[in-house]
Structure 1
């Protein structure tokens, strides 16, 4: 009888040990999976121009200030390195688009662009200068047509070592208003030397802007809604001019 009891106790002990080992192994596997997931979810910062090359219909906004009541200068639709730059009505504020989904905004872009064209056509009908008449003719021909995609020209300025980017500038063609004629191409510029974060209502933005250390002022924002860590491009980025 004692031998039977000892055998039962020994069997229970073995089962308990095996169960504990199995539990410990499962916990270890779970921990390893969690660690792998956390590592895979961490995204390495990527330069803004490099990010543009892989972006798919991503929206960026050029504004004078990150403020819900400020007008939007224009909206950029970035798709695999190509950019469509849409002019939008002055009545459109950053707070308005912050309450809209990207899908809703993309759907509205052609309508906003048409509204701007029609406003300029009305204004330029009274034009007397040859260049304004040329712009009017071009705008009238472009009614109902989408904006053309274009490549950005990118220039980077580096620090004394030549290894670190201290500012970055995008230049691009503008065919709007008085300068709508392709015979008189006009370039606009967006430059920045700082990167930050901002919130408008429930929208989280990554912001690129210029900080003037002499005046202590901020200006010229290019912003987007994204959770990806985006920074200024390093000097060795393919396709950019340096200094």
Structure 2
């Protein structure tokens, strides 16, 4: 009886030791691929900031899928898994294709946005830009080069527009999205649509009824400021409010 008990305890101890060894090996397997995983995550974050979801949607999705696959295999509880041999080459190819697509889609000359741009266009100039449209107390919202997200320094003007719309609940608006002259017509139409949509979403999140809001994209077809440098371009990257 004692011999059987001792044998059973020895067997249990052997199982525990084997389990611990597997866990340690599995953790080591995960750690050994951490630089690859971190590198791919950093690359995806960088190209996403540069507009990869719009410029290279298929390549970006393929790279994301490959990263997820790599992470799954590298962190799987299986010390005998070898994600390096099965996946690394595919991930390298996917990320190379993404970088090539982004390089091909990039504008020939990228001019960085100025650190500080004038936050509000003078009212008289805004009225001139609108032509025969109703005079509007709503301020234009300006964007950084090749960006559709709302700048921090524009939120003050946008919040003032929200307060006006809240005080005038019967007013309806059209939000026009505009770009500067650089880039193709197709790309600029998509980008200016994104700008108008960003502003519309901001208004909706603040409680403005979406039934009062329409958006339209003009791309680079209706520049406010003439000129072919940043002194003009910074005024043309905008969302313009029109009262209906």
| TM-score exceeds 0.5 | no
Which structure has greater strand proportion? 1
The structure carrying a bigger helix percent of its residues is 2
TM-score relative to the length of structure 1: 0.29
What TM-score, normalized by structure 2, do the two folds share? 0.29
